[in-house]
Structure 1
Amino acid sequence: MRRFIILMAIVLLAGSGLHAWTQTADQPERPRRIYLDEFRPTSELITPEHLLTRARFPCVNVHTHPGRLSDEEIDEMVRVMDEANIAVSVSLDGQAGPRFDEHLEKLTRKHPGRFAVFVRMDYQDQGEEGKPETWDVNLPGFGLRMADKLTDAVRRGATGLKLLKTLGLYLRDPAGKLLKPDDSRFDPVWQRAGELGVPVLWHCADPVAFFRETSPENERWEELYRHPEWSFHGKDFPAHQELIDARNRVIARHPKTTFICAHMADIPENLALLGSYLDRWPNMHVEIAARVAELGRQPYTARRFMLKYADRILFGTDGVPPMSELIPHWRFLETFDENFPYEDNPFPPQGLWNIYGVGLPEDVLRKVYYENAVRLIPAIRGNAEDGVKAVVIRPE
C-alpha cells in the first residue's frame, strides 16, 4: 500500500510539472512596457472624411502673431490666406509708440487690405528689466498714460488693444506681489478703449488643467511634462477661477467697452458657465483660437453653444497657421466628420484626444467667419459678396 501511494505521488508530481511546462510554453510573450510619449495609436475607424482646405465664406482670423516674420514669410502667410479664403488676419503684435508704425507698414506695404493690427499694453516703458519698481505700471498715473498711448496708437492705425496673460500671472508690483487683472489702475485704459470704439482682446488664463497638480490624474500631464513652465499650480499663482472672476469684474464695470475674450474666454471646459457670462454681459464676446481641441471633444454641447451665441463668437487660430493646421478648423466648423486629429502633430499640443465636427449652418458660419468681426473691429469692412478687407483708420 505504501509503495502504491508513493508511486501515485510521483505520477501526480510529474503530471503537474508537465502541465506547468505546457502552460509556460503556450503563454504568449507580453509586449514591452512603453512610456506614454511612445503611445501613438492609429485609429482603425473608417468614417467619411472632408479634408477642406478653404473656408466656405471669406474669413477674418482675429488672432495671429506675425510680429517676427520676415518679408518672405509674410508673403507665404498671405499665400496661405488666399488659398484658405482668409480675407484678413488681425496681428496682435503691435507695440506702443513708433514701433507700431514699423509693424503696420511691414504688413500692409505689399499686402494692403489684408491685415489689421491691435496694440499691446505697455507696462514697462522706460523701466529697467528685472526691476519692477521702475516700470511704468508701478508708477502713479500709469492708467492715464497708457490710455493716452492707446489713443496715439489708434491715431497711428491700431484697431484694438491686446492683453496677454502677463497681467495676473507674471506682472508684479515692487514688493513682488502679482498684480490682479481688476486692479483699478487699469480702469482708465478700459474706459478709453470704449470711448475710442476699439475692442479689447484679452487672454487672461490658460487651460484649467494647467492650474491643477501635475499628477497622473491631470488630463494634460503629457503636455505639462514636456513644458513644466506652463504649470500655474502652487507657488503664489491665483486659482484659475480667480483670474476669470477678476476679468469678469472688469467687463461688468465697463459696459460701454467691447471685450473679445481670447481662447473661448479661457474656460472652454465649461460652456454652460461661459454661456451664463455671455447672458449677463452683452459687451462680452469670445474667439476660438487654439481651442478647437476643447470644443471638438464635446461636439453636441459645442454645437448648441455656437448656435445659441452665434452673434458673440469670432474665428481665430493663434500663431501663423500653415494649411495643415487650418484644415481641422474647417472640418470642425463645417462638417460632421468624426474622430479626427485637431492638429498634424505626433504630440498634439492640447490633449491626447481626437475631435468631431459641429457642422454649423451657413448663417452661423457667416457670423463666426466675418460678420461679427466686421461689426466689432472698426478696421474690418465688407461682406461675402463684395469682399472683406481691412482699412487703416487714422482719426484726427
Structure 2
Amino acid sequence: MSQKKTVTVLGATGSVGTNTVELLGYHAEKFEVYGLTANSNAEKLAEQAIKLKARKAVIADQGKLAELRERLKGHNIEALAGEQALLELASEKVDWTMAAIAGFAGLDSLFAAVQRGGHIAIANKEPLVAAGHLLKTAAGKCSAVLLPVDSEHNAVFQCLETENKSSLSKITLTASGGPFLSWSYEEMRKATPEQAVAHPNWSMGQKISVDSATLMNKALEVIEAVIFFDLSPEQIDVVVHPQSLIHAFVSYSDGSVLTHMGPADMKVPILHALSYPQRLGTCTEELDIQKLSSLTFQAVDADKFPALNLAYRALEMGQGGCLALNAANEVAVRNFLEEKVLFTDIVDICTKILDMYEGPSQIQSVEMCRQTDERVRKLTESYIIDTYISQSAAI
C-alpha cells in the first residue's frame, strides 16, 4: 500500500476550501490531513476536522478558540488560534498545501508554505498579483512546486505540461461574462450586491463573484498568467465564453491551438492540483460532449467592462501597479457589498487609485509589499469617503 500524502488546507471553510475538503473525504484512503484553518467559522471547521480526522485545527479569530475546543472535545484534534498559530501550521512540513485564504490576507501563510517546500496549490490569486515575483523566487530557492487552481490557469498549466514553451505564441483566457453580460451600463449602475454575487455558472465566494461581474477577476487573472507562466502582457488574450466549458486556449507558433474543456466546477482543477502529477477519479458529474448544444465566443466590450484594460495598465506600471490595483479593488468591492458605493463605481475607484499611485514600481520584499498594500488601502478608503460617502451624506 502506498504511503498517504500529507495535506494542509489553509482557508478550509471558504468555497475552494470546502470543495477541497469534500475531495479529501472522497479519496480518504490516499490522504492524511495534517491541518485545517479557518478565519472565524468554528462550527464548520470543527465538522471538517472531525470528518477528515485532522491532527490540528487553527482558527484565526482568537475569540472563537473556546468554541472550537468545545466542538472538538474527545476527538484528539489539537485546537489553536491566532495569526501566529496559522503561520506555524503553514510552515510545518506536509506534502501538499491548499492556499485558499481569500484575498491579500493569505499572503503571509502562502509565503510560509512556499518557504517550507512541497506542492503548493494556489487558489487565492491576490498574493500572486501583489507579490508574484517574490513568491516565485522563494519557490525556486525552497524547491516548492506551485500549482495553479484558478480554472483558467490550471487549464493553461495542463496544456503547457508537455509542450516546449519556446514555441508558445499566446494564451487566451475565457471569461463567462458574469451575471451582467447582457445588461446595459445604466442597468449595471443599479445592480445590487445580491445580483452581483449570483453567478450564472460558478459557485464562488462573494468577493470573487463581484470580481467576475466587473471582469476585474479576469483582469487579475491576466496579471496572474503573466507572472505565473513568465509571459509578456501581449501574449495574453481574453474572450467571453458564456458557457464556461472551455477554460483556456494555448496557441503555438505552428498554428496549433490546444484547449482545455471541463465542467464549470472548481472540484476539477482542485483535484488536478491535489493529485498532480498523477490523476485521481472524479466525484463530480463528467462532461457529456454529446449533450453540448453550442459553444459561443465574443470579444470583451471594453466600454461596458473597462476593468480588463486596467490589468495591462498595471503591468506597465510594474509589480507596484499590480499590487495597487489589487488593493484598491478589494477595498472598493467591500464598500460595494456594504452598499456604500455603486457597482459601476468599483472600476472607477480602481482607475483613480492607479492615477494617484506614487509608490514603488518594483516590490523588493514581503515587508515592502505589506507596507505598500496598507498605504494603497488607506488611500482608497479616504478617496471613497471623500468622493462617495461624504457627498451622499451631504445630499
With normalisation by structure 1, the TM-score equals 0.28
Q: Which has the higher contact order (CA 8 A, sep 6+)?
A: 1
Structure with greater helix share of residues: 2
Greater Cα radius of gyration, structure 1 or 2: 1
With normalisation by structure 2, the TM-score equals 0.28
